[in-house]
Amino acid sequence: MKSLHYLKYFLFHAIGLYAAVAILAGGAWTSWGLAAVVAFYLVGDAVCGDDTSTPHFGHSGILTFQLWLALPLLAFIVFSAVWSVGDGDALGFGATLGQLTGFDLLAARDATATVHHLSAWVLTGLMIGVIGTVTGHELTHRTWDPVSLLIGRWLLAFSFDSVFSIEHVYGHHRYVSTTEDPATAPRGRNVYFHILASTAKGNVSAWKIEKKRLARKRHALFGWHNRVIRGHLMSLLLVLIAYAIGGLEAALFFTASGLWGKALLEIVNYMEHYGMVRDPETPVQPRHSWNTNRRISSWTMFNLTRHSHHHAQGEVPYQDLKPFPDAPMMIGGYLTTIVVAMIPSLWHKLMTPKVLAWDRDYASATERQLAARANARCRIKALVAASSATT
């Protein structure tokens, strides 16, 4: 049934609501909720296989509305998480919801141990990454739609990264898989260094892009027209709202959650383009990004998984992206690959053979020369020897 193709993307919203319930339930329920979300992705992608379907959608407005729903959903999740670490009861939220559900939220919050608050932090940051960044990425590509752009930038503000809407669209998509792109990790790089390097260089790149735009339009660099400044003020406003909800502890919790969400974005950048090289004189092609068609990741992340097509044609909406099963493939689904990337020794063990296979099977003649120089710089033979020694 065609309606199922619309409904499958509501898995995204179901996961977000489940996370909010787990956070509000407090105590061990929060930790079990985090474990369930992680298991859903890891096991689901492992056993549910690939989705290579390419249905035709006749009601694109429904699909756009699904994206717009991410903003109130993320606001609710973050409000719930910030409320859960505060002492007060902002807006009478806990008392009112307790009366409606018959569950004593205030007592559950008071009984929550520190370890479960840590689980809430991990889960909130994960939701900021999935609900905020994934959807913000899709919406800020729609440069022709001011409503989508506004919603997308607010979603990105939760991870202190509204500048992503500038650098990603006008920088990353232009320079991907070249040394000019901050988000493309060179061979041999550690993911934790990449988080810092890509964040710093990405902000510098966004500032330069915005400076050129303002100069063309004859606007002042330091003024309201500067989207970089406006974006950081949006994030600051969210911190202040968190402070109003639960005081300093809540503001610090939100800041830590947002930074964790930002780190997840850079880990995703790392795994989507790690080790890729491209002749700058040639257009971006599907072979210049790591792809995956894992079903659960695709349905719950609005086809971000179909990254090869996305970079070949960045203006194509998520529902029309093609699976490109012959493109270079990631290790697994998105959360699986994130987990592997966070273990550098395992990452290099699994990815070094894939990168060398890319050189052989996908690279052009010029790109093989670029790859050979990249391999020499990172001493990839040493990585191969190290990975072989552990097998």
Q: Are 380 and 352 a contacting pair, CB within 8 Å?
A: yes
Residue 291 backbone phi and psi in degrees, to 5: -115, 160
Q: Which domain holds residue 10?
A: 2-389
- 344-361 and 191-217 are packed helices; what angle lies between their axes, rounded to 10 degrees? 60
Q: What angle do CA 275, 279, 285 make, to 5 degrees?
A: 75
Number of structural domains found in the chain = 1
CA–CA distance, 198 with 181 (Å, rounded to integer)? 9
Residue 379 is predicted with a pLDDT of: 73
Q: How far is CA 109 from CA 20, 26, 29, 208, 279, in A?
A: 13, 6, 11, 45, 55
Q: How far is CA 3 from CA 9, 44, 51, 281, 319, in A?
A: 11, 22, 16, 43, 14
Report the percent of the chain where pLDDT is more than 70. 97
pLDDT for residue 391: 46
pLDDT of residue 287: 96
Low-confidence ranges of the chain (pLDDT < 70): 1, 380-391
Distance CA 53, CA 56 (A): 10
**What is the model's pTM?**
0.95
> What is the tens place of the pLDDT at every residue in 303-345?
999 999 999 999 999 999 999 999 999 999 999 999 999 999 9
Give the pLDDT score at 87. Answer: 87
Residues in the chain: 391
Contact partners, residue 193, CB within 8 Å, separation at least 6 = none
Residues 357-361: contacts with CB under 8 Å, at least 24 apart: 358/275, 358/276, 358/287, 358/328
CA distance 302 to 165: 17
CA pair distance 242, 256, nearest whole angstrom? 12
In the DSSP assignment, the letter for residue 291 is B
Q: How far is CA 15 from the centre of its chain?
A: 15
Residue 386: the pLDDT is: 52
Residue-wise pLDDT for 129-173, tens only, equals: 999 999 999 999 999 999 999 999 999 999 999 999 999 999 999
SS3 assignment, position 255: helix
